[in-house]
Amino acid sequence: MLTVVSRFIRNAGALILVYVKSDGKYPLEKDILSIGGCVQNILLSATGIGISTCVIGELFGKEMDIDKIVKIEHSDMGLVCGIALGKSEEESPTQETFSLKDHLLSEVIN
């Protein structure tokens, strides 16, 4: 049951659902690791253009519940997570840029 997040999903400006399809020939753990990298890129790219994001990990394994809300069927795939996209009611703080060199140990640099 998605009582906790269903309102959040319905009110999002957009929702990206991330699924995985595993045939057993390739380790699922490697797919999940790749999905994590893709999700991170989506979050960083959206944030970079002023779109607020939120990963909804509670959706993992709840395909039946989410399919009812968004009216889709993906019986051969597993739901990994959702990404809610929208505009925050709060203004995003400006981020200072920094040099990676300033944060590395000198032994690593030299």
Question: Is the pLDDT at 38 greater than 90, yes or no?
Answer: yes
46, pLDDT greater than 90: yes
Nearest Cα to Cα of residue 17 among 45, 33, 40, 39: 39
Q: What domains can you pick out in the chain, each with its CATH number?
A: 6-109 (3.40.109.10)
pLDDT, average across residues 49-73: 81
CA distance 21 to 96: 39
